[in-house]
Structure 1
Amino acid sequence: MGNTPPVPVATQGMDKADRGKRHRPPMGVSALSLLAVLIALFSLIPLGFVIYMTLTAGWDTVLELVVRPRVGELLANTILLILVTVPLCLLLGVGGAWLVERTNLRGRRWWALALAAPLAIPAFVNSYAWSSTVPSLAGLGAGTLIATLSYFPLVYIPVAATLGRLDPAIEQSAASLGLGPWGVFLKVVLPQLRIAMTGGSLLVALHLLSEYGAFAMIRFDTFTTAIMVQFQSTFNGAAGNMLASVLVLLCMLLLWGESKMRGTARYARVGFGAQGLPVRHPLGCFEVPAQLSLLAVGVLSVGIPLWSVLRWLVAGGAQVWEPARFLPALLQTLGYGLGGALLTIVVAFPMAYLAVRHASGFSRLLELSNYVTSSMPGIVVGLAFVTVSIKVVPGIYQSALVLLAAYVLLFLPRALVNLRAGLSQAPRELDEAAQSLGRSPFAAFFLVTLRLSAPAAAGGAALVFLAIVNELTATLLLAPNGTRTLATAFWAKSSEIDYMGAAPYALLMILISTPMTYLLFQQSKKAAGQ
């Protein structure tokens, strides 16, 4: 034993070195980390803007502008809207998902798509349809109606996906112990839906905080509508900045509340064997009420908006389809949508790569910075970029670059989540195998990793594209002079009560959004293994 040469030790060291070399990302971990840090710092510009404006205003000014009756009124409106709308979205989302996934409902495949369809109709188009059909519609009740019909699919889609992958063996065991159908649902199924329900509720609440067009059209005041009025009247005055600070605080409270309600419980299935098929409960005499309820939801959320848009198109005649009217807005929308989606994917890639291939507390912290920023309303991001571009880089104010940067910050998590899933399905060993066959690390990365993650990147780009097509608030604040997207052109016409002139833009947004919504629905089913 004493004559054993130390060669294995040297070889082992060489193996470790070789393995370390093979594991190095094509651009190097340090370069990727530096790039991800720069992206994270860039994404914190809106939050830094809010903090800076609050601190520089002075405590006396903050109290004067925040502690006043108008802020109390806006706060009451916003909180009431959330407290009423979120439970209604939960009721429709969970109830619809249960009927589609766990009952013998007739036509359930068709209803599964129909319940996701309202996402293809922007909330401000929904508001336009309802306000032009019922002109007296206004206030909290109107805001709740339109918001519920527009946003309940944000709860329905994740809950339906979760129901599709729950192991029915747990429910069968509970039933064998004497629990009835309602007992099984309340004590077994509902707790397993908590993550999907809290996540969907958070999305609904954040949309309620950020929505401008839908509520402005029905004359319902929220923080976002009030900030826009302040900006238009005083161009980013102190009062608007303080309202933005309160709005950001509400966003942070919602994120904190969702994390607490989500909890740390896990509901994964561990064990051998195939998962059983879910038991579909017979509706019996409840079949007709269930069908009528779903039909009512479909008519109110999709039927009335489509009918209203088509009605105004027919009333406007062929002249509303003159290419000179809508073609520039369509082309600019497609240009910004495609450019913003591509840029967002490129910006998201370094962070997604670090999160999957070099996971650590550092990479998770970088990710968190993007999620915090994206939770802010578009109007806050818009105000931040207006102020920063004017004071720091005046030459880029109201340029396409600033608008694209705002789109990236607002919708980066949509790309990040998809890229992470795609990179997770591209094993590192395949990259190493390509290098062992003579490919350089850079070539192996492009031929293997990038190729395998391309479908997920395309899915993320599609979701970002959908968001950009329907984005209104940040576009109104940051778009260069002469820019007319479908959303801003629609808003200009509808604000002038030119419902016939606004109809083509509304229809085009719906037509563009429909395939993207279908893609989102299919991705959720794929994630559920269905």
Structure 2
Amino acid sequence: MIAALPLVYTVLRGTDRGWESLWRYVGSARTAELAGNTFTLLAAVTAASVVLGTGAAFLLARTDIALPRVFLPLLAMPLAIPSYVAAFSWLTHVPGLAGFAGSWLVLTASNTPLVLLPVYAALRAADHAPEEVARSLGAGPLRAFATVTVAQIRLPLLAGALLGALYVLNDYGAVAMMRYETFTKGIDYAYNASFDRTAANVISLVLVAVALVFAAGESLARGKTANRVGSGSARTASVLRLGTARVPALLALSALVAVSVLMPLGGLLPWLFGHTTGALDIPEILSALGNTVTFAGAAALLTVLIALPVGIMAARSRGPFARSIELAAYAGYALPGISVGLALVYFGINTMPAWYGHGQLVVLAYIALFLPISIGATRAAIAASGPQFEQVARSLGSNGLSTTARVTVPLAAPGILAGAALVFVSCAKELPATLLLQPAGQNTLALELWKHTEVVQYTQAAWYGLILVVVAVLPTIALQRIVGGTPVAAVRVDSEASR
């Protein structure tokens, strides 16, 4: 219901002038222009993120490349860097990058970890026996990986690609900074250019429809999964010797770190140490830090609790009801933050006035926006844990709730915690909805950064950006340790094509 609330508001506002008006906006030249720009960027970013994320995960998990424990947290760091901060830094270095190229570069760097981390974890956990069989039948290393291993990591790969695609649809900060017009930029312009919100809500509905199509396609592509729980342990993958390719591979990972981490953070340095535009307000910084951690932490905890039953249902049931619930949860993630914020402003004023102007609505907005992140992580973790353990527990007399608490959740705990870390980071960086719903006197780090940027206080803005990155880095490191650790149970997932 929380995820569907902004969608219901958007539908009602988008159709309040009749269906004829709605279809006129949908078929307009402006909508077609925004759609072309958005889909071009989405396809380019998703393709690049999948290739780079999968390639980097393979190098770190399956080869003898140097310093894998150093590269993994570095390559996860873009999750902690807001896209608008990265865009600002890139434009500081390369002003001519504005437009499609800059938007593609920033969003690809931001999205690659969404594929890298789950694929890396899946590669470490995957049973190597099928790949050895393929090699014994004459397949080369690349062919065996493409035909066997990719099938084993299909579920996390698809989940990461879907989240990346939805992130591109929903992003406002990077494209606004790069002056590239997508659906979200068009929605913002429509909201601010006129008191008539119909056009903005119609564009939001188009965005939701596209997101639901992607989510449905990902759900169908997942197909059926078969869980390996054998009498023996799964075969651990042998380390691939890179030989002469080791140096080029090392340079490739170093270049990826430079583009996605060093350049975005480097753009802040001139403003941190090279300019003086006023003293820092330490109490203001501490207050913003406390508000950020409080709002993001509460949202992450509640999101995990809400996502758990949905993730279990999505992993264990392929019926229409389970798919409908899962798809409904993705609606909020598809809506831009400004649409979710306006929906909750309307909801707060008309139905929950006691909540309006307080932190509850901010947390509610975060849940609506980022619930799919937790659902995707929970679903993948539950699917990997295998139903056999639950069946054994039930055969020994445990009821459904006891089995979930004592068997299912502990087995899936690493994936669930990874989802919580991603939600926390996303909430800490969120700007548009927070801007609309912020309680008086309770600014977050993102809001303070935006406020100081608006009045050209770039030194203060840079410090808030740096602190925000540090706050987001901590759960990102925890996330890296989760996906890089030893699996909780000897369970492996072999994905099979739908029959």
| TM-score tier (shorter) | 0.7 to 0.9
Q: Does the 8 Å contact 2:83/2:110 carry over to 1?
A: yes
Which TM-score applies when normalising by structure 2? 0.84
Q: Give the corresponding residue for 2:340.
A: 381
Partner of 1:30: none
By how many angstroms is 1:206 displaced? 0.3
CA contact (8 A) 2:99 2:180 kept: yes
Q: Is the deviation greater in 330-339 or in 453-462?
A: 453-462
Shift of 1:497: 4.4
Residue 175 of structure 1, aligned match among 127, 135, 140: 135
User: How far apart are 1:479 and its partner, in Å?
Assistant: 1.9
- TM-score, normalization: structure 1? 0.80
Q: Is this contact kept in 2: 1:320–1:504, CA < 8 A?
A: no
The Cα shift of 1:366 comes to: 4.7
Identify the structure with bigger relative contact order (alpha carbons < 8 Å, sequence gap 6+): 2
> Which residue does the alignment assign to 2:225?
266
Q: Deviations over 1:253-303 (max 9, x none)?
A: 21122223x242436435332222212221111111111111111011111
Superposed CA RMSD: 3.8
Percent of residue pairs identical: 34
Contact 1:337 1:468 in 2 (8 A): yes
Distance 1:328 1:287 in 2: 47
Note if contact 2:188-2:338 (Cα within 8 Å) is conserved in structure 1.
yes
Tell me by how many angstroms 1:215 deviates: 1.1
Larger Rg: 1
Name the CA distance, whole Å, in 2 between partners of 1:393 and 1:357.
36
Once the two structures are superposed, residues 309-355 of structure 1 have per-residue CA deviations (whole angstroms, 9 ceiling, x without a partner) of: 22311123595533145233223222322333344455557767999
> The residue matched to 1:316 in structure 2 has which SS?
coil
Q: Displacement of 1:486 after TM fit?
A: 0.8
The 1:165/1:458 distance shift into structure 2, 3 A limit, reads closer
Does the CA contact (< 8 Å) of 1:162 and 1:528 recur in 2? no
Structure 2 unaligned runs (5+)?
491-499
* CA 496–223 in structure 1, closer or farther in 2 if over 3 Å, else same: farther
- Which residue in the other structure is 2:44 paired with? 84
Larger mean Cα displacement after TM superposition, 210-219 or 59-68: 59-68
Aligned-partner SS, 2:144: helix
Against the structure 1 CA distance between its residues 502 and 191, is the aligned structure 2 distance closer, same or farther, given a 3 Å change threshold?
same
Deviation at 1:114, TM superposition (A): 2.1
Q: Which residue of 1 aligns with 2:360?
A: 401
2:461 to 502, 508, 511: 502
Whole-angstrom distance in 1 between the partners of 2:378 and 2:111: 25
**Could you tell me how far 1:90 is from its partner in structure 2?**
1.2
Query: How many residues end up aligned between the 2 structures?
Result: 484
TM-superposed deviation, 1:469: 0.8
Q: 1:323 to 1:388 in 2, by over 3 A?
A: same
The 3 A distance-change label for structure 1 pair 141 and 374 is closer
**Shift, 1:64, TM fit:** 2.9
Please point out which of 423, 427, 430 is paired with 1:464: 423
**Native 8 Å contact 2:42 2:165 kept in 1:** yes
What is the distance in 1 between the residues matched to 2:310 and 2:40? 37
Whether contact under 8 Å (1:192, 1:267) holds in the other structure is: no
Alpha-carbon shift at residue 51 of structure 1 (Å): 2.4
Structure 1 residue 179: deviation in Å? 1.6
Summarize deviations over 1:434-473 as a string: whole Å, max 9, x none: x9xxxxxx9x99x989997997787665443322211112
Residues 1:122 and 2:113 are matched in the alignment:
no
Aligned to 2:264: 305
**Residue 150 of structure 1 aligns with which residue?**
110
Whether the 8 Å contact between 1:161 and 1:527 is mirrored in structure 2 is no
Runs of 5+ in structure 1 lacking a partner? Answer: 1-40, 436-441
1:463 to 1:88, Cα distance in 2 relative to 1, 3 A: closer
- Are 2:443 and 1:484 equivalent residues in the alignment? yes
Shift in Å, 1:430: 9.9
CA contact (8 A) 1:326 1:504 kept: no
